[in-house]
Chains A and B, each alone.
Chain A
Amino acid sequence: MGHLLETIESGLPNGLKVLVRPVHSAPVATCWVWYRVGSRNEIPGRTGISHWVEHMMFKGTPTFPKGSIMRLINKNGGHLNGFTSEDYTAYFETLPSDRIDLALRIESDRMANSVFDPAEVEAERTVIISERQGDENFPEFLLNEEVTALAFRAHPYRHQVIGWKEDLWRITRDELWTHYRTYYGPHNAVLVVVGDVAPSALLKRVEELFGGIPAGESPPPVIAREPPQTSERRVVLRRPGTAQYFLAAFHVPEARHPDSFPLMVLEAVLSGASPMSITGGATPTHRSARLYRALVETELAVRAGCNYSFNIDPGLFLFSATVRDGRSLEEVETAIWEQIKRLQDEPVSADELQKTQKQARAQFAYALESVSNQGFWLGLMEMVDTHRSFDTLLDQLAAVTAADVQRVAQTYLTETNRTVGWFVPTEHQEVQA
């Protein structure tokens, strides 16, 4: 494409892995620190603790007191955020490139020196419960939580990243502190810098700032393995609401598994290539895909799609739809099963395969417009597989055959491997003031 970029990989003796990708097209740079900890690492009673620690990382250190991290980044023309997933917790700052040192100083400092002030922990408890209550206002969140909890019996992927509300009321300051000390450290982290930087000078600075942080002990491994599902599972949520929602989840392999590429292609055939942009400007390409044609064009649903997400351990392939007013969940479900059967019975056409490849190429190009996106993808792939997969992704997708797609549909999208959830709205409890 004429836009090939190179990632320089290195490491410090304390275990910190460093990925630097010089991109000189704009005077900006992004700094990401990824920790190998998420809801996957949580035990019953402490669900949501990883996400809570993420919140505490903005509460300051002795060097950067509370409130100063965001303020300093903003003052220097940057923006930042943090987020927690099942598999990782990530922090980033994107700045004018001449200010990137500030991001490195903040990240190296809070890797070891975050303050977990008991009063701040308490103030944050209600903020996080408020975040969860905001989620609960959406029927789709409630349905997702039920279906996920039913699909997984043994693996911690069964609970949401935000955690159960009962745990959020109970978790203590010391538990948060221990979680931080266990998982935050150079031995469990990856630093990613993308942008208008000189790699040698940057690496020298990384060494100065991060080199002195002692390596901690290896965190405990996640040993839970989900047993194979042997029969269909179902849940029906009857709650006040105004629309019917459908969600189905199939167990699928982890990102590192060779079947992840055919699953991505399968996803694209059904609902278009996934946008790769985290910075807005998503380019949807689902309207010519099979699910939209079979459900939205036929007026069974107003929205229908599917999603395969990259995970460290085997995760879920989701189908979701919002039923059109006047139609039924049965009709929507039947139409989705028909589309799956079609994928199992007939190979996808050469044209369809080619289309998914071109779509992926376009989504990839859109992602390259921003250094933040590149930092995100390099880090994400490094968490669940290897960062090199980011640069070889298009080639891997191009190598997928129609037979591969048919095989993964037959292998994973089976009746015994699925968990089905319906949201059935009951009368709305509304009081007009």
Chain B
Amino acid sequence: MSMGSFPTSNKHAPIGPHTIRRATLTNGIRVVVQENHTSPSVVVRGYLWAGSISDPPEKAGLADFTAATMRRGSTTRTYQEINEQIESVGASVFFDAGRRLTRFGGKSLAEDLALLLDILSDLLLHPAFPPQEIEKLRGQALTHLKELEDDTRHLAEREFRQLLYPDHPYGRPIEGTLESIPLIQREDLVAFYQTHYTSHNAVLVVGGDVTAEAVFELLEKCLGGWRTDESHAAEMPPVSPPQEARRSVRTLTNKTQVDIVCGTVGLPRTAPDFYAARVADTILGHMGLMGRLGDTVRDQLGLAYYAYSTLEAGLGPGPWSVSAGVAPEHVARAIEAIQTEIVRMRDEMVSEQELEDAQDYLTGTLPLRLETNEGITATLLDMELYNLGDDYIIRYPAIIRAVTREEVQTVVRKYLDVERFALAIAGPYQE
């Protein structure tokens, strides 16, 4: 085990090289610890390279199903034993599949960290995939998927993704479908686990009322035996933004509100223009009451309770989209108002004041984001995933301040081509 340098103690300094402690376990797993003695609790977060991108199309939902099954028993503990042991101390553990990664972790009182890590590593290294638990999960998943068929917000989001990424893993629902879930067999889950759940390039972050040395020692004991062979994630197929407007309408006459999602393909987190896009998105749909979109669609026109934008920049180019919930009679006006706001961002530079406000917001909210152990570990995990460096939080204000009005306009012009948006509508509405 190798360890990082000893930290200086200054609880009010932002998190940086002077507070972050690192170690590499003997099998190569990177471990990052940030001590936080605010409250006697601790959070553990990690990721490994298993995502829905590797789902076979006819078995959509496999990564998600596998993650859910991980929680359902080890070779030495039943599901109920795990629940009893972990919950008896008010702690929790989770596995959660995304498109590229599966995240896992837990939370407990600091005094129970050893128990938390013991159970988490047991599940990670020795899952049992009990057949009866798989069937229970399948039943729950199918009921849940039926509920989603009645959820206009979910339907609009799902249809939007399918429009935007046709025949692409980014367009398939992570949770699978009513058709795919029945096809997934126990062998599929075991094979997915064996192929993807390796420690190769896995990262673990711990934040809370702990000492780094104690955490390193515990983790070496718990996870030192995790196999290291390379994971075989599927290749990311190329993505291109739509070359024409795409539209889908799901009519549910029993509902009272219409949910709308529209947008296009954005950019990965590592793109050079990511920060300009973040600033643009803040101005468009976040700052104050949901940015310019909130100002117009909600505040001036009174068309919607919510109207905001989302920039989903991850390992790949996620969507850059706008979501709104409106009354059926206001659908056309709301869509028009959203388009007008985007066109305005494209045709005119944002004002100096708007840029400065957005920069103040993005840099000023850092202390809030780093207040809780969840916030600390989520930030550190992103820093690992995107190779941002231990001094990222210190550098971050300067990065945001360097974004110019021209860059904001350029990034909107480059990506937000409203004439070629995908648009999904779900609710009591017909064309």
A221 at the interface (CB under 8 A from B): no
A368 and B302 contact, CB distance less than 8 A: no
Interface size of A in residues (CB-CB distance below 8 Å):
85
A371 → chain B closest CB, angstroms: 7
Instruction: Say which one of A145-153, A181-189, A305-313, A354-362 lies at the interface with B.
Output: A354-362
Contact B257 A362 (CB under 8 A): no
Chain A neighbourhood of B363, CB < 8 A: 77
Stretch of B215-223, B287-295, B413-421 at the chain-chain interface: B287-295
B14 and chain A: residue at smallest CB distance: A27
In the complex, what's the smallest C-beta–C-beta distance from A35 to chain B, in angstroms? 21
The residue from B83, B136, B248, B298 contacting A299, defined by CB atoms under 8 A apart: B136
Q: Let me know if B89 and A358 touch, CB within 8 A.
A: yes
B90 and A243 contact, CB distance less than 8 A: no
Q: Establish whether residues B257 and A325, one from each chain, have CB atoms under 8 Å apart when the complex forms.
A: no
The interface residues of chain B lying within 8 Å CB-to-CB of A286 are 87
Contact among B38, B143, B327 with A130 in the assembled complex (CB-CB below 8 Å): B327
Distance in Å from the Cβ of B12 to the closest Cβ of chain A?
5
Cβ-defined contact, B249 with A433, below 8 A: yes
Tell me if A281 and B372 are in contact (CB < 8 A): yes
Using A71-B288, A432-B250 as known contacts, say yes or no to A287 and B87 having CB atoms under 8 A apart: yes
| Residue A177 lies at the interface, judged by CB distance under 8 Å to chain B | no
B371 touches A242 (CB 8 A): no
Is B56 interfacial (CB-CB < 8 Å)? Answer: no
Q: How far is the CB of A28 from chain B (nearest CB, A)?
A: 5
**Bound Cα distance from A271 to B161, whole angstroms:** 36
Q: Assess whether B107 is in contact with A429, with CB atoms less than 8 Å apart.
A: no
Q: Nearest residue in B to A361 (C-beta to C-beta)?
A: B90
Which residues of chain A come closer than 8 Å to B89, judged between CB atoms?
Answer: 358-359, 362
**Bound-complex Cα distance A8 to B299 (A):** 39
Q: Does more than half of chain B's interface fall in helix, strand or loop, or is it mixed?
A: mixed
Q: A26-B38, A281-B107 are in contact. Are A130 and B303 (CB under 8 A)?
A: yes
Which residue in B12, B41, B301, B357 is a CB contact (below 8 Å) of A366? Answer: B41
Interface contact B430-A431, CB-CB below 8 Å:
yes
A359 CA to B431 CA, complexed, in Å: 52
Interface presence of A214 (CB below 8 A) = no
CA of A366 to CA of B43, assembled, Å: 10
A residues near B364, Cβ cutoff 8 Å: 74-78, 96, 99
Q: Is the CB of A70 within 8 A of B147?
A: no
Residue B374 at the chain A interface, CB threshold 8 Å: yes
Assess whether B76 is interfacial by the CB under 8 Å rule: no
State A273–B299 Cα separation when bound (angstroms). 39
Residues of B174-199 at the interface with A, using a CB-CB cut-off of 8 Å, are: none
Quick check: B360 and A27 within 8 Å, CB to CB?
no
B404 beta carbon closer than 8 Å to chain A: no
Name the A residues within 8 Å of B370 (CB-CB): 26
Whether, in the assembled complex, A411 has its beta carbon less than 8 Å from a beta carbon of chain B, the answer is no
Interface string of A71-92 (1 = CB under 8 A from B): 1001111110000000000000
Tell yes or no: B11 within 8 A of A by CB.
yes
Indicate if A58 sits at the interface (CB-CB under 8 A).
yes
- The contact of A134 among B88, B287, B325, by CB within 8 Å, is B325
Inter-subunit contact B365/A77 (CB<8 Å): yes
Q: Which residues of A contact B87 (CB under 8 A)?
A: 272, 285-289, 355, 359
Whether B309 sits at the interface, judged by CB under 8 Å, is no
Complex interface: chain B residues within 8 A of A360 (CB):
90
- Answer whether A77 and B251 are a contact pair too, CB < 8 Å, given A127-B305, A322-B143: no
Q: How far is the CA of A70 from the CA of B248 in the complex (A)?
A: 34
Does A136 interact with chain B (Cβ within 8 Å)?
Answer: yes
Whether A123 and B357, one on each chain, are in contact in the complex, defined by CB atoms closer than 8 angstroms, is no
Contact flags (1/0) for A284-321 with B, using CB distance below 8 Å?
A: 11111100010011010010000000000000000000
Q: Answer whether residue A334 sits at the interface, using C-beta atoms and an 8 A cutoff.
A: no
Q: Does A349 contact B (CB under 8 A)?
A: no
Quick one: which of B39, B327, B373 has the most chain A CB within 10 A?
A: B39
Contact B250 A430 (CB under 8 A): yes
Q: Are A324 and B304 in contact, CB atoms less than 8 angstroms apart?
A: no
* Closest chain B residue, CB of each to CB of A67: B288
Question: In the complex the two chains form, is A302's CB within 8 Å of B298's CB?
Answer: no
Asked if A130 contacts B305 (CB within 8 A), the reply is yes
Please indicate the chain A residues that have their CB under 8 angstroms from the CB of B255 in the complex. Answer: 136-137
Please give me the residue from chain A that is nearest to B106 by CB atom. Answer: A283
| A344 CB to nearest B CB, Å | 24
Of the candidates A1, A123, A302, A359, the one whose C-beta lies within 8 Å of that of B299 is A123
- Inter-chain contact B360/A433, CB cutoff 8 Å: no
Q: Which B-chain residue is minimally distant from A285 (CB atoms)?
A: B87
Query: Cβ of B288: which chain A residues have Cβ within 8 Å of it?
Result: 67, 70-71, 74
Q: Is the CB of B360 within 8 A of A429?
A: no
Chain A contacts of B38 at CB under 8 A? 25-26, 368-369
Does A366 contact B302, Cβ atoms closer than 8 Å?
no
Residues of chain A in range 113-133 having any CB-CB distance to chain B below 8 Å: 122-131, 133
Q: Does A3 contact B (CB under 8 A)?
A: yes
B144 to chain A, nearest CB (A): 6
Give, as a whole number of angstroms, the nearest-CB distance from A335 to chain B. Answer: 16
**Complex Cα spacing A386 to B374, Å:** 30
* Contact of B367 (CB < 8 Å), options: A3, A77, A288: A77
Query: Is A2 part of the binding interface, using a Cβ–Cβ cutoff of 8 Å?
Result: yes
A280 at the interface (CB under 8 A from B): yes
A212 within 8 A of B: no
Contact residues, B340-371 vs A (CB, 8 A)? 357, 360-361, 363-368, 370-371
Assembled-state Cα–Cα distance A131/B305 (Å)? 5
CB distance A3 to B254 under 8 Å? no
CB distance from B328 to the nearest CB of A (A): 9
Please indicate the chain B residues that have their CB under 8 angstroms from the CB of A430 in the complex: 250-253
What distance in Å separates the Cβ of B371 from its nearest Cβ neighbour in chain A?
Answer: 5
> Counting CB contacts under 8 A, is A363 at the interface?
yes
CB 8 Å contact bits of B371-413 with A (1 = contact, 0 = none): 1111000000000000000000000000000000000000000
Chain A residues within an 8 Å CB radius of B248: 433
Partner pick for B80 among A25, A66, A293, A322, CB 8 A cutoff: A293
Evaluate contact between A77 and B143: CB separation under 8 angstroms.
no
B4 at the interface (CB under 8 A from A): no
Chain B residue numbers with a CB within 8 Å of A284 are 92
Which of A136, A293, A358 has the largest count of B CB atoms less than 10 A from its CB? A358
* Chain A residue with the shortest CB-CB distance to B357: A75
Residues of B within 8 A of A363 (CB): 90
Contact A362 B250 (CB under 8 A): no
Other than the given A77-B361, A127-B298, 13 more pairs (CB < 8 A) read: A28-B367, A28-B371, A66-B299, A71-B357, A126-B327, A131-B305, A137-B257, A302-B140, A302-B143, A361-B90, A362-B91, A369-B39, A429-B253
A sample of 11 inter-chain contacts (CB < 8 A) reads A3-B39, A77-B368, A123-B300, A126-B330, A127-B298, A130-B325, A133-B325, A134-B305, A362-B91, A369-B38, A370-B371
Please provide the 10 A-B residue pairs with the shortest distance between their CB atoms, ordered closest to farther: A77-B364, A362-B90, A240-B254, A123-B302, A25-B38, A133-B257, A359-B90, A288-B83, A281-B374, A131-B305
Chain B interface residues (CB < 8 Å from chain A):
11-12, 36-41, 43, 80, 83-84, 86-92, 107-109, 136, 139-140, 142-144, 146-147, 149-153, 248-257, 259, 287-289, 295, 298-306, 325-327, 330, 357, 360-361, 363-368, 370-374, 427, 430-431
